[in-house]
């Protein structure tokens, strides 16, 4: 049986072997180009090494087939039998290498992805570092400017706070958790009467007059972290009480622990005094209206009693018992009419003349009348009347009555102690817009508990028969009618030396005349 010719098969085997070599090297070249283009790409590097192994395997396999065909064609089959095991072993080795590379491909891809992820993270971190470095570089370039700007802001803020602390007319203080005063401004020290240049160490216990107020203060601070408009009493350096309106805020450290408080306090003493004076003025106005009504109602029957008693006196001689009784009725009725007249003056219902008056002339007239009786009781009079004072507008007779009342009260106060000194003075203030007339004595003074009531109608500390309690009330009404005020000091403090002397001073403050006044009826 004739066999098929082997030439076509051998030719195909040889051509295929050549093509395997060509294609493997083409793949190797393409992988090499990819690797050159992206040297950091793990995939292209792996593919390059895979193509190298594949090319080596293709050369080994193809060359084995080509050598075999050449030896068979040339009749050297024996030599091929010697070379065949070597070629097969070499091919097996390269096949194993190719398989190993293929098997570890997936592991390589996972490693590559992990590396790529890490690389991306590092890249992002690197970009952040670059941005941070850029910011630091910018900050470093402008650091001095930023520090200067911040320093200026802090300096301006500190200056505003210091100006507020230093220039505030109210008390501003800081204290720690143990009630010790850490800092107080000059206004606060002055308000409490302490030395501004060398203040003593103080605590809130020294400042608060009542321990109960201090307890309430801290309870409110700790409960609500602030206090608003709390009215308390503070003690001054000399022990005097002053009314205070207090607002405070608690201060905490970074850990939230209470370390003290900061506060602002306003002196309410003048406000309290003004409120008291206002209440007194309203009370005086009400009493004045009542007094006017009562005086008018009493005046008529008193006039009838006086008239009938005087008619009866014509029928009975004064030496008789009836005549004596009628004299008593007449005298007491006139006393009652004088009291009614005083009530009318107090209520400002009586007519009043308005004319230009020299206060010095009024004071001189009053002293001329009363100086002799003062000297009889060993009371020495000192005059200090400022010359060329402006005139005031008012009723000279009523003003004389005011100063006579003050002098009579001073006379009685010094008479009890066997004598003293009376100081009478006049001066102007506020650029001549006001005139101050002062009557000051060296008597026993006015007790604190009595002082708020001295201008009340019918209030008197004199014994029965020595006063009706209307003198100061009438004086108060007359001065108010003239647009003035009365200030009382007891004891008296010298404004220049600060020395305190016993006694009482009445200061009558009256406005001066702005235009020429004419005598008219009020």
Dihedral pair phi/psi, residue 46, rounded to 5°? -60, -45
- Asked if the model's pLDDT at residue 519 lies above 50, the reply is no
pLDDT value at residue 515: 44
Pairing of strands 379-385, 420-429: parallel
The model's pLDDT over 270-291, given as tens digits with 9 standing for 90+, comes to 666 666 665 565 565 566 666 6
Q: What is the pLDDT of residues 480-501, one digit of tens each?
A: 888 888 888 888 887 777 778 8
User: Which of 481-502 are b and which e, b meaning 16 or more Cβ less than 10 Å from the residue's Cβ?
Assistant: bbebebeebbebeeeeeeeeee
Number of neighbours of residue 294 by Cβ within 10 angstroms = 13
Confidence class for position 145, pLDDT limits 50, 70, 90: confident
Q: How far out from the chain centre does Cα 44 lie?
A: 75
Out of 133-137, 370-374, 465-469, 492-496, least confident range: 465-469
From residue 497, alpha-carbon distances to 444, 487, 493, 494, 500 in Å are: 22, 20, 8, 6, 9
Question: Over pLDDT 90: what percentage of the chain?
Answer: 1
Greatest mean pLDDT range, 74-88, 379-393, 456-470: 379-393
Task: Identify the residue with better confidence: 191 or 519.
Answer: 191
- How far CA 52 is from CA of 20, 39, 58, 68, in Å, comes to 13, 16, 10, 24
pLDDT computed for residue 39 by the predictor: 77
Would you report the helix, strand and coil content of the chain in percent, each value rounded to 5? Answer: 60, 20, 25
449-459: average pLDDT: 65
Q: In this predicted structure, what is the pLDDT of residue 518? A: 41
At residue 356, does pLDDT exceed 50?
yes
CA distance 243 to 271: 9
For residue 453, the 8-state DSSP code is: G
Whole-prediction pTM: 0.39
CA angle in degrees (0–180, nearest 5) for 302-287-346: 60
Is residue 222 within 8 A of residue 250, CB to CB? The reply is yes
pLDDT at residue 85 in the model: 67
Report how far Cα 208 is from the mean position of its chain's Cα atoms: 20
pLDDT at residue 509 above 70? yes
Query: Averaged over 103-126, what is the pLDDT?
Result: 74
Q: Which residue has the higher pLDDT, 359 or 150?
A: 359
Average pLDDT of span 139-153:
72
* Mean pLDDT value across residues 459-484: 67
Q: Residue 91: its pLDDT value, please?
A: 65
Q: Would you call 174 helix, strand, or coil by DSSP?
A: strand
What is the rounded average pLDDT for all residues in the chain? 76
Burial of 100 (0-12, 13-18, 19+ CB in 10 A): exposed
Pull the structure tokens for residue 470. Answer: 């209307």
Q: What is the pLDDT of residue 373?
A: 79
Q: What is the pLDDT of residue 285?
A: 59
Which residue would you say has higher pLDDT here, 319 or 115?
319
296-355 pLDDT, tens digit each: 667 778 777 878 788 888 888 888 888 888 888 888 887 777 777 766 655 554 455 678
């Amino acid at each position: 049986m004739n066999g098929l010719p082997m030439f076509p098969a051998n030719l195909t085997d040889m051509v295929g072997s050549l093509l395997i070599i060509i294609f493997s090297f083409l793949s190797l070249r393409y992988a090499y180009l990819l690797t050159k283009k992206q040297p950091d790409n793990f995939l292209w590097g792996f593919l390059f090494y895979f193509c190298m192994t594949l090319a080596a395997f293709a050369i080994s396999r193809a060359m084995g087939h080509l050598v075999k065909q050449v030896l068979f064609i040339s009749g050297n089959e024996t030599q091929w039998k010697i070379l065949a095991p070597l070629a097969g072993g070499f091919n097996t080795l390269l096949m194993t290498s190719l398989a190993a590379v293929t098997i570890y491909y997936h592991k390589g891809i996972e490693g590559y992805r992990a590396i790529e992820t890490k690389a991306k993270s590092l890249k992002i971190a690197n970009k952040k570092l670059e941005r941070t470095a850029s910011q630091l570089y910018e900050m470093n370039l402008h650091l001095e400017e930023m520090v200067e700007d911040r320093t200026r802001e802090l300096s301006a803020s500190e200056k505003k706070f210091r100006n507020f602390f230093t220039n505030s007319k109210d008390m501003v203080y800081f204290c720690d958790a143990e009630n010790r005063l850490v800092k107080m401004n000059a206004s606060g020290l002055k308000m409490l009467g302490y030395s501004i240049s060398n203040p003593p160490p103080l605590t809130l216990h020294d400042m608060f007059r009542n321990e109960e107020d201090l307890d309430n203060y801290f309870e409110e601070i700790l409960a609500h972290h602030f206090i608003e408009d709390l009215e308390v009493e503070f003690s001054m350096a000399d022990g005097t009480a002053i009314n205070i309106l207090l607002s405070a805020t608690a201060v905490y450290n970074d850990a939230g622990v209470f370390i003290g408080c900061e506060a602002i306090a306003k002196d309410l003493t003048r406000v309290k005094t003004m409120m008291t004076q206002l209440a007194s003025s309203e009370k005086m106005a009400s009493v004045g209206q009542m007094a006017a009504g009562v005086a008018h109602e009493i005046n008529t029957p008193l006039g009838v009693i006086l008239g009938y008693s005087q008619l009866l006196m014509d029928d009975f001689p004064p030496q008789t018992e009836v005549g004596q009784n009628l004299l008593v009725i007449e005298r007491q009725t006139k006393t009652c009419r004088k009291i009614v007249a005083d009530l009318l003056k107090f209520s400002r219902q009586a007519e009043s003349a308005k004319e230009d008056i020299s206060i010095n002339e009024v004071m001189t007239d009053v002293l001329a009348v009363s100086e002799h009786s003062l000297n009889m009781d060993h009371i020495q009079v000192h005059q200090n009347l400022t010359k060329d004072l402006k005139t005031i507008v008012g009723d000279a007779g009523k003003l004389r009555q005011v100063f006579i009342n003050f002098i009579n009260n001073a006379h009685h106060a010094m008479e009890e102690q066997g004598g003293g000194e009376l100081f009478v003075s006049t001066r102007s203030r506020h650029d001549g817009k006001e005139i101050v007339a002062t009557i000051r004595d060296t008597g026993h003074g006015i007790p604190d508990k009595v002082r708020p009531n001295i201008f009340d109608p019918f209030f008197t500390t004199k014994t029965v028969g020595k006063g009706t309690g209307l003198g100061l009330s009438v004086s108060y009404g007359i001065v108010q009618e003239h647009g003035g005020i009365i200030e009382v000091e007891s004891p008296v403090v010298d404004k220049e030396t600060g020395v305190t002397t016993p006694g009482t001073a009445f200061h009558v403050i009256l406005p001066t005349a702005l235009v020429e006044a004419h005598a008219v009826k009020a």
